[in-house]
Amino acid sequence: MRLKARVEAAGLQVWNIGNSNVHNMPEVTLNLPGRDQKIAEYKQYLRNLAQAGIRYTTMRTLHEVDFRGVAIADHVPGMVGGPRVGWAYSIGYMKALRAAVRVTGS
C-alpha cells in the first residue's frame, strides 16, 4: 500500500502491481516441493491487492472493454512433457480465466 500511496501522490493512478515471486510458479505447475507455500503466497498477494483497493486484473479489464482480439501467453511454464504441454496449460488457463470473468463479471 505504501507503493500505491507514493505513486498516487505523484498524480498517477495504480491499476495493478505485479509480484514476480508468484508469477509462473514451477512449484505449482509441476507439483514440486513448495507448491502449497507458493499457493499461499499467491492468495496473500491477491488479498494485498484487494486491501490496497486494486481490483483489476488483465482478464477483467479485457472483459470490461469488450476485447475481441487475440490474447497470447507471454510466459509459458516449463512442464513435464515438453513445450507443447506448457502451451496447452497456458491456453487452457487463459480460457478458464475468460470464462470465469464472463460468469462472475469480476
Domain spans of the chain, in order of start: 1-56, 57-106
Q: Stretch 6-31: mean pLDDT, rounded?
A: 79
Q: Is the pTM of this model over 0.85?
A: no
Please state, in angstroms and rounded to a whole number, the distance separating the CA atoms of residues 47 and 96. Answer: 21
Please state, in angstroms and rounded to a whole number, the distance separating the CA atoms of residues 76 and 89. Answer: 8
* pLDDT given at position 34: 93
Round the average pLDDT of the chain to a whole number and report it: 78
Please state, in angstroms and rounded to a whole number, the distance separating the CA atoms of residues 7 and 19. Answer: 17
Q: How confident is the model at residue 89 (pLDDT cuts 50, 70, 90)?
A: confident
Give the model confidence (pLDDT) of 21-57 as tens digits.
Answer: 777 778 887 888 998 998 888 888 878 888 877 766 6
Supply the DSSP symbol for 34: T
Q: How many residues does the chain have?
A: 106
Q: Are 27 and 35 contacting, i.e. CB atoms less than 8 angstroms apart?
A: yes
